[in-house]
Structure 1
Amino acid sequence: MTNVKLSESVLDWVVDNTNPKATVESYQQLKGSTSSTLHRIALRSGQKLNHYVVRQFDNKEWLEEEPDLAYHEAACLRMAKKTGVVSPELIAYDEKGDICGYPVILMTLLDGEVELKPKRMDQWLYGLAKALAEFHGTDADDFPYWHNSYNDIFSFEIPTWTNVSTSWKKAINLLKAPRMKTAECFIHRDYHPANVLWDNGSVSGVVDWVNGCKGPRGVDVGHCRVNLAMLHGVEAADGFLRDYRELAGSRFTYEPYWDVVSVADMLVGPPEVYPGWEAFGVTGLTDDIMKERLDQYVVSLMARVE
């Protein structure tokens, strides 16, 4: 992670939108800043120290695709508050980039840390499932953003690197079948372990809401599952699904289709180790392990279809 300094204009903007009498005590770039740059900022007012997070949308390619990123995240943070899940509170945002040349958003800092190497895998998976099930009960009929696949699922082909081409062919056939019709709600759209904070063994909050939208619950479940499969293996992905199904009850009907959509969404080329995992202390993973685990996951999905 390359350390990116905050400009004086951004720091002044943060102070103006929080407490004009405060002074900047310190700031540091947050771990896992991959698609945008996030900083933690400490402001001092007398004896009190308050902490905030500022996100700079400085990825030009992403901005070209979605120029309304700051507005989108602001809308998602407001919506997240309605779900009851602990999420950052929106303070201010600059949609057009007037402050520093690109969009920026200011929010509160949540307590807790990302935990990717749990001591009790079963408790950790249950916590991830419980947090997701809790905010999936929020209706999103009037929300202006809705789910679309990141990649063109109809042009998806069997990966050249796979050792289980037959399973991938079956998965692609399922992917190209008519889209499953299912109930929709407000979803995170990027729900995975690196976006969940923990404190004293319990989930303390969910962050990174910029992709939130109206969509099927299976999209969030599938995205988390494929991340878990690559991070810890198929058994972890299946344990998470088992817990989520129990917690969601009749609100959720599992369909492997959404798992396959999530696999297709994340593949632009051969699977690689997610840089965010390394930033949070996960070592020893390789791109070859990612290929092997993704193959195993696809085989497990097709076993559910048969």
Structure 2
Amino acid sequence: MISSFTQRHDGERLSGVYGGGGPDRATAVLLHGAGNGSKERLTPVGEEFAGRGCGVLALDFSGHGESTGELRELSLRRRFEQAVAVIDARVPAEGPLILVGFSMSGQTVADLVRHYGERVTAIGLCSPAVYAAEAWDVPFGSGNSRFSAILRTPDSWRGAPALDALRAYEGRAVLAVPGHDEVIPSDVTEAVQDALTARSQYTRLDIPDAPHRLGLWFHDHADDRREFVDALLVEGWTATRAWMAKQLPAGRTVATTRFLSGGWSSQMRALTLDDGSDLVLRSFVKPFFRHHAPGLLNREASILTLLAGQDGIPAPELLAVDATVEHSDHPSLLMSRLPGRVRVDEEDLVQRLDLLAAQLVRIHRVVPDERPRAYQAWTSPEQVRVPDGALWERAVDVIRREPPSYEGVFLHRDFHPGNVLFTDDLRISGVVDWVETSWGPADLDVAHCSTALALLHGPEHGLGFRDRYEAQGGRRLADGTDHLYWRLLDSLAYAPDAGKLAGPWRELGRTELTPAVLGERLEAYVDGLLQRYA
């Protein structure tokens, strides 16, 4: 039975409802949005959870509903503290939590995920918002408040700590996206999705006819409400585990699993078997890559088969692939695990850059019996989004032409430090991520690695990678503006949000690589290319 309660906290009286569930059942914590949001409009969602045997807890934040206090005095920090106070008072200690946040409470859910850790078994984010770090402790105020000024600052949310919290979360996650969100920019929604697909058991629930206020929508649309709750309560990865068990060597079982840092397009898990041997499971969870998985994973499977007979290219051994999700929850590929680790630090950098260049030269010497597909450009003059300014206009003008002629070679197409493994004695022990393998100009592989080096280690290292490649005996590259075309075709694909590449790098310890730092490095790199080759 769900009943009402009031709780004193920080001089205010918070109104809430709680009930249902049992000692071993999860409690669904429902958190309303800003403005005139309240627990009342979430009653049907709470009843849906209670009907499945879950506990239910909902509250009115101060200044909302039946709670006391002034809305203008509320802040993101105080919302978090009020939620913690109510959860700690009503939910048994160590009891599992399902956190559901609407709009502004997307931020609150992320704060609670960081606070409660493994107690959080599932999160549901409905039209979620995230905010810049400097907004967390600022009262909302009214009119032209400081909080409003922070929100109006273009792209202030891009470095939101909430995104890092969601990126580290490994439980069940459902992102509910309305078809007509007049409040939350689509870039914010995509950033939240990118964060959730890094590690969580992720599902995206699109509701085409719904507006931003999904709490009201669920109140009046029972089918969508039930689908949302069903998605939160289903156990993830069941089919994948069953499929994977059938692919293991005879008599072997998986003893432990852990995430591998450094992935961006897919989730990577290290599997240690009961005999101590190691495998890697690659799964496409992001909707874009899931959609393109049949081509990507089948291509990787064929390339790994090809490279099994190549000297000097340490690639994984293919065990199995399910690119069309016939047997697993997500498109997946199972392969051997190579020794070594990804290096994105600054130690031994010069030696590592020479090793990278030499390895790329060896890749370009592969002569396959059957050519892979022709390369695909990752941006175009029509698609590119760059900051205002003469520099960027000039850079985009460079790629407003037909591609230069070239002599095709075997391309990795996504060769950069994040896809190369090094041993402790500074040898390359693995090259991974072969889903984009193509046929095209060697300049394009050099360009892609150069962009990554410029962002990761500084513009001068990106500008100098061509020289290292040629010094190792690489293919003849284009001259002047032809080479500039390939370099800018790659680097402009990362404007204006160069920071999207850095999530895995930050996981690996490069926390100083903020969006601002990466934006400055990209601009300096593009300027350097124009000065050198234009």
Do the two structures share a fold, i.e. TM-score over 0.5?
Answer: yes
Aligned-partner Cα distance in 1 for 2:451–2:267: 25
Picking from 427, 433, 438, the partner of 1:202 is 427
Question: Please, which of 446, 464, 484 is the counterpart of residue 239 of structure 1?
Answer: 464
SS in 1 for 2:378: coil
5+ long unaligned stretches in structure 2: 1-167, 171-199, 202-235
1:127 and 2:355 are equivalent in the alignment: yes
Question: Which of 69, 79, 98 is matched with 2:296 structurally?
Answer: 69
> What is the CA distance between 1:11 and its match in structure 2?
3.2
Alignment of 1:85-100 (within 5 A): 85-100=313-328
State the distance in 2 between where 1:223 and 1:270 align.
16
In structure 2, the residue matched to 1:33 is: 263
Aligned to 2:86: none
How far did 1:108 drift? 0.3
CA distance in 1, matches of 2:419, 2:475: 26
Asked if 1:2 is matched to 2:153, the reply is no
Give CA deviations for 1:70-120 in whole Å, capped at 9, x if unaligned: 212212222333543101111111122122233211100000001111322
Partner Cα distance (1:284, 1:25) in 2: 36
- Partners of 2:357 and 2:472 within 8 A in 1: yes
* 2:284 equivalent in structure 1: 57
1:179 aligns with 2:403: yes
Three-state SS of the structure 2 residue aligned to 1:295 is helix
2:132 corresponds to = none
**What is the aligned partner in structure 1 of residue 473 from structure 2?**
248
1: CA distance, partners of 2:366 / 2:341: 26
Does residue 109 (structure 1) correspond to residue 337 (structure 2)? The answer is yes
Deviation, structure 1 residue 157: 5.7
Q: Relative to 1, partners in 2 of residues 1:195 and 1:250: Cα closer, same or farther, differing over 3 Å?
A: closer
TM-score with structure 1 setting the length:
0.89
CA apart distance, 1:189: 1.1
User: Is 2:490 aligned against 1:262?
Assistant: yes
Cα RMSD after superposing both structures: 2.1
* CA contact 1:91–1:106 (8 Å) conserved in 2: yes
Shift of 1:294: 1.0
The separation in 1 between residues aligned to 2:263 and 2:503, in whole angstroms, is 9
Q: Is the CA contact 1:24–1:43 (under 8 Å) kept in the aligned structure 2?
A: yes
Q: Give the aligned residue type for 2:382.
A: S
Q: CA 1:83 to 1:238, structure 2 compared with 1: closer, same or farther past 3 Å? A: farther
Does the C-alpha gap of structure 1 residues 23 and 156 become closer, same or farther in structure 2, counting only changes over 3 Å?
closer
Matched letter for residue 63 of structure 1: R
1:149-298 aligned at under 5 Å gives the runs 149-151=377-379, 153-156=380-383, 159-160=386-387, 165-199=389-423, 200-249=425-474, 251-253=476-478, 255-267=483-495, 269-272=496-499, 274-298=502-526
* Further displaced range: 212-221 or 241-250: 241-250
The answer (yes or no) to whether the contact 2:258–2:270 under 8 Å persists in 1 is yes
Give, in whole Å, the separation in 2 of the partners of 1:17 and 1:62: 23
SS of the equivalent of 2:464 reads helix
Q: Structure 2 CA distance, aligned partners of 1:292 and 1:146? A: 32
Listed one character per residue, the Cα deviations across residues 235-283 of structure 1 (whole Å, up to 9, x for unaligned) are 111332211011134544451211111012333x432151010111112
Q: Which has the higher contact order (CA 8 A, sep 6+)?
A: 1
Aligned residues of 1:13 and 1:99 also touching (Cα < 8 A): yes
Question: What stretches of structure 1 of length at least 5 have no aligned partner?
Answer: none
Given the two structures, how large is their TM-score scaled by the length of structure 2? 0.53
Letter in 2 for 1:198: F
Counterpart amino acid of residue 26 in structure 1: T
Distance 1:285 1:112, change over 3 A: same
Amino acid at match of 1:81: A
Q: 1:176 and 1:15 mapped to 2: Cα distance?
A: 50
Shift of 1:140: 4.8
1:189-208 Cα offsets, whole Å, 9 max, x none, are: 11111111000212111111
